[in-house]
Amino acid sequence: MGFCMDKGNSTIESRLSANGKTLLEKRYLLRDAEGKVAEEPGELFARVAKTIARVDSRYGYDVEKTEDDFYQVMADLEFLPNSPTLMNAGTELGQLSACFVLPVEDSLKSIFKSLQDMSLIHQSGGGTGFSFSNLRPKGDIVGSTNGVASGPLSFMTIFDKATDVIKQGGRRRGANMGVLRVDHPDIIEFIRAKEDEELLRNFNLSVGVTDEFMEAVSQDRDYALINPRTGKIEKRLKAKDVFDRIVTCACRTGDPGLLFLDEINRRHPLSTIGTIESTNPCGEVPLLPYESCNLGSINLAQMVKEGAIDWEKLKQTVHTGVHFLDNVIDANKYPLPQIGQRTKQNRKIGLGVMGFAAMLARLGIPYDCREGIATAEKVMKFTQDESVQKSVELGEQRGSFPNFHRSALARDYPAMRNATVNTVAPTGSLSIIANTTSGIEPMFALTYRRNVMGTRLTEIDPVFEEIARKHGFYSSQLMEEIAGTGSLQTSPNIPEQTRRIFATALEIQPRWHVRMQAAFQKHVDNAVAKTVNLPHEATVEDFREVYMLAYRLKCKGIAAYRYGSKAEQVLEIGNAGDKKAGSTGTVKACTKNGCE
């Protein structure tokens, strides 16, 4: 390779934050037979670059140049692939994808086959999504035994327990998405499933809603619950009452979110091949059964030069990222043969972004304003256009994905290597390594604690510290003042424009969170993972407005979280367990008992 390992590693070490180094050592760096760390961060990136670049030999490319390019974007923390690629590339396991969706059909054989498949995927470091909508409802007849069906929730608890046992690859916490259509007869039980915090701890839950249901909510009409076994109507419910239960439970427990199934399938380029019913665990990749998708994220904070976006650098990074992720499909060792087959038929990738809030701060633009939204659209449209251009180029050079001529893309392009190219993922761990803000989220707080698989990391926003030092208002006293709240809003000596730029997630009005998600979704062919973080005193009405706005703005899904609504949460402000640290007033409606 065209770099010196010792020098390269020294440079990388200087770029990594203390938390980034801690996370790499705990979860990513290879270990020897005695469990001791056996590689440096530079060696990790070299291992990944070498493994992924080797694919280019199949297509007559300059492998050494590709290896250099891949290494450099990772070493400079400008682009990082999803965690399984960092962990497993160049190892015997070799499973490189993060996202999988598995089918669950209405038979005991299918259910437990999916359970077995899930276990293998989790063991290899992937996360799984399921729709349980095809299972007959609780109390329905079981013809083979003349017994009574126990319903989707009973089987979901088995999947949940299995996930507890099989921690993903030993280094990732097991994660699942569970989806139930809103017209399933067991929908009320599903909506209320997280009232007991001990149940389904390894699942995110989303109600799969249709346009028909959302219109019935708006018009205060009833709608039909349909038995998936018979196709017959079981009963009718008022749509508004069901929607009220959804938002009340979401406010109280953090679940369920919504998946807008009709919008997802309207925009799916392979709608003639199958119907999408579920997504990966965080909702950013809607997939057909047995599809997988490998993700990577560009660090937008690194795409700013002298107070402006460096468009040429962003273009080159996008092209490198698409090339990298397409290679991953060929380098991957798939956990199941049918996953490998379907993934190679469609060759979906998900190139996304992280560090967007940090980019805005460096540009001097507040998150919650029209200029912030306009910047989001401009950046993501550019990213999408360049991603498509690179995929077309790869398609012409290497061949289009096998199902290209069955896709909607064949109407508009002469070739296309990948059925989808863009995603916005949460980038929880990747953003720690890259020392930037997560995905497209606003800054959660200027100082906060993050819980990562038993490790508590205290974080200070690096861009805030950078700007505070640059403009001369950084002091240890200031950092102590904001340590308890994570906010600048009570610091009168800070310029008002600076306070606007560094408004945090809980201080931003919910509608701006949703508008930002929708701005990115306009230029993303997969989906956007975003959480609308709300203060502790948020109400059911706040959740109702968030969910309805997401539908009106054509998001593909929505998730919202009220600070402190779970006993354990990933991000915390102030003293551990202090729910009021995320509060600006008196707690209201969400705290009543039950999701009635």
Name 558's bridge partners: 258
pLDDT over threshold 80, residue 354: yes
Helix-strand-coil percent breakdown of the chain, rounded to 5?
A: 45, 15, 40
Name 37's bridge partners: 31
C-alpha–C-alpha distance, residues 561 and 191, integer Å: 15
293: nearest Cα among 482, 584, 526: 526
Give the CA count within 13 Å in the CB-facing half-sphere of 93. Answer: 20
CB contact burial 73-86 (16+ within 10 A = b; e otherwise): bbbbbbbbbbbbbb
pLDDT at 583: 55
Peptide bond into 426 cis (omega under 30): no
In tens, the pLDDT along 69-94 reads 999 999 999 999 999 999 999 999 99
pLDDT at 438: 96
Which tokens in the block code for residue 495?
């310029």
pLDDT over threshold 50, residue 247: yes
* Average of per-residue pLDDT across 198-227: 97
* Average of per-residue pLDDT across 165-178: 77
Residue 250 and residue 242 in contact, taking contact as beta carbons nearer than 8 Å? no
CB contact burial 484-502 (16+ within 10 A = b; e otherwise): ebbbbeeeeebeeebbbbb
Measured CA distances, 231 to 137, 153, 183 (Å): 12, 20, 11
pLDDT at 278: 98
pLDDT at 484: 74
Provide the mean pLDDT of the chain: 92
Backbone angles phi, psi at 190, to 5 degrees: -65, -45
Q: Which domains does the chain have, with CATH numbers?
A: 99-279 (3.20.70.20)
C-alpha–C-alpha distance, residues 47 and 51, integer Å: 6
* Average of per-residue pLDDT across 465-480: 85
Model confidence at 571, pLDDT cuts 50, 70, 90, reads low
* Average of per-residue pLDDT across 255-265: 98
The sign one gets for the Cα dihedral 488, 489, 493, 495 is positive
Supply the pTM of this predicted model.
0.94
CA 411, chain centre distance (Å):
30
E strand or H helix that includes residue 83: helix 83-88
How many other CB atoms are found less than 10 A from the CB of residue 406? 17
- CB within 8 A of 470, min separation 6: which ones? none
**Residues known to be catalytic:** 280, 282, 284
User: Measured in Å, how far apart are the chain's first and last C-alpha atoms?
Assistant: 62
204: nearest Cα among 566, 540, 589: 566
CB contact burial 3-21 (16+ within 10 A = b; e otherwise): beeeebbeebeeebbebbb
pLDDT over threshold 70, residue 170: no
pLDDT over threshold 70, residue 449: no
pLDDT at 582: 58
Detail the DSSP E strand segments found in 423-547: 447-452, 455-460, 531-534
Which tokens in the block code for residue 486?
């994570």
pLDDT over threshold 50, residue 549: yes
Looking at per-residue pLDDT, the higher value among 595 and 25 belongs to 25
pLDDT over threshold 80, residue 253: yes
In tens, the pLDDT along 299-340 reads 999 999 999 999 999 999 999 999 999 999 999 999 999 999
Model confidence at 172, pLDDT cuts 50, 70, 90, reads low
169: nearest Cα among 349, 8, 30: 30
Ramachandran sector of residue 328 (left: φ over 0; alpha: ψ -120 to 50; beta: rest)? alpha
In tens, the pLDDT along 42-71 reads 999 999 999 999 999 999 999 999 999 999
pLDDT over threshold 50, residue 592: no
C-alpha–C-alpha distance, residues 376 and 392, integer Å: 24
* Average of per-residue pLDDT across 416-420: 98
Question: What percent of the chain stands above pLDDT 90?
Answer: 79
pLDDT at 416: 98
Q: What torsion, rounded to 10 degrees, do the Cα atoms 149, 151, 152, 157 define? A: -90
Residue 563 and residue 536 in contact, taking contact as beta carbons nearer than 8 Å? yes
**What is the radius of gyration, based on Cα positions, of the chain?**
23
In tens, the pLDDT along 108-126 reads 999 999 999 999 999 998 9
Model confidence at 588, pLDDT cuts 50, 70, 90, reads very low
pLDDT at 283: 97
